[in-house]
Chains A and B, each alone.
Chain A
């Protein structure tokens, strides 16, 4: 049977699987339909993606791709488009097909105009050919889930190999100029590139926080020197040997005002002019996400004013600074997954609580989606919590490892409660919070999903696919 003939049954089967997996409560149905459809028609990604009239955009990197692609989705909707988006963190190849299947009708016609696909950093090479993206957004490369992906130099090398073979003119590469690893890949691309970055030294944290953040020039193997460090290894850098340095960003954030957990405001400078924007997304790391989304949407032809309005009206995804109200108290959920991200979250929490110590719940799991190796906990600067937290509840599969890390960070055992059961840990944290005082919840990915389920059962949040 020619592969185009297989397409219709593949779509139908995929859709039926989605309905069935929801009915059977097998989960959100975010990858299963894609797996079924791909088994029936292996070429289905290419065929369905080719039916999107405006093509598609791929967002990849270790941190921020969910927030960035949701922002792009939101802005494009304001611009009158109907985006197809692999939501709910289903960013492996099967998740992409699932999204495509769900946005194709029974006759195989696309129900969307443009695809927005967030893709795991290691998956990028595999999805490039079938998707043929118009634009690729490279957010950042942090050490993350090492046991799954190998070392970040290897990931950067794979990206380099994918971009090297592309004829210029097909794809625009939008990349984070503040990340030397990403920049080194992006700036070498032969076609159109759009570097984005922060242009305000007052957001800087000074020098590299600790040795684990050191990054080396791809050519010389020498450590970069920084005039400004924003967080992790993001900043304004230069190789002292060959002179490779941060490219001038085309899309930049100037005059940044950080307002703790209330978000931030800044001047968005673009070739199309400058717009003042505000976002409820907290922390310096989210400025990068906003810049990435803005750069992408401007590239797709969205007017600057629509971009600015989109940024201002955007509400965060579950676990990304989402607020949940329970028993008259407020919990702020901040997903954590690697040292640089965790440090930024901790700094944002410390800025928000100030000297008045707060209540923090940390939940660490070590399932495949979290990274089975938890050694990264020792590269997070938990030292900043010592003496500044009134109550710290530790939970998750690796609660004991976390508690030991906190002991070495100088956190007193008198403020610590250890309970591997997340449901009880949640209750303990809420109990510790005085009325009106927020609880900061810092879970790893699967701990966040688990917490979401608990809160769903208690009627405090909606289900995934109801979003």
Chain B
């Protein structure tokens, strides 16, 4: 069995240890004997539609985000729209998450049009507003109510439309907008979230959930073998403790 991963903008959107997410996906598949191919898709390149089972996009600094937004619409839209239709997985973190929505309005009021793969919109309330920064814990119905742990750092406030469901409910932290206790968004097999840390190494349940969906989109029903997750679970619970401590 094989898994084909497409890493979007590895040199542009890589702000918060994003390559850790790639490592977790690739290693947890390889540790189960699954062949993994990772293709990097940069500015100016269009991935062939149908060529990948899982697409990953990280977050970037403001100027990089502007470059990525234009390129996403012009060069990546076809492959990603096709991916959603055939049930391939798209995972986007932080800035990448914002670009999968309808639009991102910056602190200066500048509007970046997104791909609209997730029914969400993001607005930055202005340069004087507080960034939403800190350790975060979320409870996710997509993982049978298990917790997700990570770190968030964003100025934009994201609101969900009727066609998106949250990835989870905030236990501690801010989440999408610091108000409605929602975190992230899911629609079909498209996942967006503000959690980095990075997200996947410390949340093996989510990693395996995404791997299962991605493999199933091409190989049919599969069951992943279990792994020795002692270090993963130790890091997960340490992050849980850290998120609720005051120092």
Residues of B within 8 A of A151 (CB): 15, 61-62
Beta-carbon contacts under 8 Å, B115-143 to A: 131, 133-135
Q: Smallest Cβ distance from A306 to chain B, in angstroms?
A: 42
> Known interface pairs A214-B11, A216-B63. Does A401 touch B20 (Cβ–Cβ under 8 Å)?
no
A152 and B247 alpha carbons, distance in the complex (Å): 26
A408 interface contact, C-beta 8 A: yes
Q: Smallest Cβ distance from B135 to chain A, in angstroms?
A: 7
A418 and B50 alpha carbons, distance in the complex (Å): 44
B61, B153, B234: which contacts A400 (Cβ < 8 A)?
B234
Q: Smallest Cβ distance from B47 to chain A, in angstroms?
A: 17
Interface 1/0 per residue, B157-193 and A, CB below 8 Å = 0000000000000000000000000000000000000
Do B202 and A404 have beta carbons less than 8 Å apart?
Answer: yes
Binds A, one of B78-86, B96-104, B209-217, B235-243: B235-243
A146 and B16 alpha carbons, distance in the complex (Å): 9
B23 interface contact, C-beta 8 A: yes
Do B153 and A379 have beta carbons less than 8 Å apart?
Answer: no
Residues of A within 8 A of B135 (CB): 372
Do B235 and A216 have beta carbons less than 8 Å apart?
Answer: no
Do B151 and A372 have beta carbons less than 8 Å apart?
Answer: yes
Do A408 and B23 have beta carbons less than 8 Å apart?
Answer: yes
Do B27 and A408 have beta carbons less than 8 Å apart?
Answer: yes
Beta-carbon contacts under 8 Å, B1-44 to A: 10-12, 14-20, 23-24, 27
Beta-carbon contacts under 8 Å, A363-386 to B: 366-367, 372-379
Residues of A within 8 A of B202 (CB): 401, 404
Interface residues on A, range: 35 or more
Do A211 and B247 have beta carbons less than 8 Å apart?
Answer: no
Chain A residue nearest to B238 (CB atoms) is A400
Do A375 and B16 have beta carbons less than 8 Å apart?
Answer: yes
B62, B231, B234: which contacts A153 (Cβ < 8 A)?
B62
> Known interface pairs A223-B11, A404-B202, A408-B27. Does A210 touch B235 (Cβ–Cβ under 8 Å)?
no
Chain A residue nearest to B204 (CB atoms) is A404
A397 interface contact, C-beta 8 A: yes
- Which among B11, B15, B23 has the highest number of chain A CB atoms within 10 Å? B11
Q: How many residues of B contact A (CB 8 A)?
A: 39
Q: Summarize A's interface: helix, strand, loop or mixed.
A: helix
Residues of A within 8 A of B12 (CB): 214
B201 interface contact, C-beta 8 A: yes
B64 interface contact, C-beta 8 A: yes
Residues of A within 8 A of B198 (CB): 375, 378
Do B14 and A212 have beta carbons less than 8 Å apart?
Answer: yes
A354 and B237 alpha carbons, distance in the complex (Å): 37
A375, A401, A408: which contacts B196 (Cβ < 8 A)?
A375
A150 and B154 alpha carbons, distance in the complex (Å): 10
A164 interface contact, C-beta 8 A: no
Beta-carbon contacts under 8 Å, B198-229 to A: 198, 201-202
A407 and B228 alpha carbons, distance in the complex (Å): 11
- Which among B62, B133, B198, B231 has the highest number of chain A CB atoms within 10 Å? B231
Residues of B within 8 A of A374 (CB): 151, 197
A408 and B200 alpha carbons, distance in the complex (Å): 12
B19, B66, B232: which contacts A211 (Cβ < 8 A)?
B19
A405 and B61 alpha carbons, distance in the complex (Å): 24
Beta-carbon contacts under 8 Å, A401-423 to B: 401, 403-405, 407-408, 413, 418
Do B20 and A405 have beta carbons less than 8 Å apart?
Answer: yes
A398 interface contact, C-beta 8 A: yes
Do A408 and B16 have beta carbons less than 8 Å apart?
Answer: no
A262 and B219 alpha carbons, distance in the complex (Å): 56
Interface 1/0 per residue, A200-212 and B, CB below 8 Å = 0000000000111
Do A147 and B133 have beta carbons less than 8 Å apart?
Answer: yes
13 A-B residue pairs with CB within 8 Å:
A147-B133, A151-B62, A211-B11, A212-B19, A214-B14, A376-B17, A378-B20, A400-B231, A400-B234, A401-B235, A403-B234, A408-B201, A418-B234
Residues of A in contact with B (beta carbons under 8 Å apart): 146-147, 150-153, 210-212, 214, 216, 221, 223, 366-367, 372-379, 397-401, 403-405, 407-408, 413, 418
